[in-house]
Amino acid sequence: MDENITELISDLRTYLEYLKGMGITSLPVAENVPEKVPRSETLTLADVRTELGDCKRCKLHRTRKTIVFGEGNEKATLMFIGEGPGYDEDMQGRPFVGRAGQLLTKIIESINLSREEVYIANIIKCRPPQNRNPEPDEIESCNPFLMKQIRVIQPKIICALGTFSAQTLLKTDTKITALRGKLYDLEGIKVIPTYHPAFLLRNPERKREVWEDMKKIAELLNNA
């Protein structure tokens, strides 16, 4: 047997005897220990898309034109998650293709990546009427599918774009100004919130902060 394994077994035996000496005679079984990220080794994005089907799980199906599932590399190390489709995305069935999307493309390219190399999705997959904010029941209906996409892709880093994305993924009410640029954990995956590209179109002076966040993401990816 490999020397390391023999040593490991010996250490384990010593540890178990120590626990026994302390009066601990049973250990929790694996099914009681939560998995960090429930890994999906067999599920594919195509499976998730099939399961989603012609979704009518929330009221947005009545007004949407197209479901915007998400697009990009199934093996991406970096995933961007926005809020929800706008007019252009609803028309084309693709995420971030309008003005905000063009800015997102530039942001991605600023760290020498392309849209094809990352994965882009949204908190909700259907456009809310008049681009209103997503409502809690809509977010809740969509969330299992987004989580499955995350588990299939298993990115190293998720960049949460804007308030809704950051607050939904991190289950917090904290403002995006306080969240941005910091590192959080979503079941073992690093999450970095930053400003939404649509916010940057209205407030171009905040681009510098997003650039700082992107540099941090690039560094983390290079050291991963």
Q: Is 70 in the site for ligand URA (CB under 6 A)?
A: no
Site for ligand URA in 96-115 (CB under 6 A): 96, 98, 100-101
Q: Whole-number minimum distance, CB 178 to ligand URA, in Å?
A: 20
- Give whichever of 40 and 166 is closer to ligand URA, judged by the CB atom: 166
**Which of 85, 155 has the CB closer to ligand URA?**
85
Does the CA dihedral 90-95-97-103 come out positive or negative? Answer: positive
Token pair of 215, please? 């540099």
Count Cβ atoms within 10 A of the Cβ of residue 49 and give its class: 0-12 exposed, 13-18 middle, 19 or more buried: middle
Angle at 60 between CA 192 and CA 102, to 5 degrees: 45
Nearer CB in complex with ligand URA: 89/138: 89
Tell me if residue 53 falls in helix, strand or coil: coil
**Would you count residue 138 as binding ligand URA (CB under 6 A)?**
no
> Rounded to an integer, what distance in angstroms lies between the CA atom of residue 31 and that of residue 193?
32
Of 170-209, which residues contact ligand URA (CB under 6 A)?
Answer: 198
| Interface residue list for ligand URA (CB under 6 A) | 82-86, 89, 95-96, 98, 100-101, 122, 198
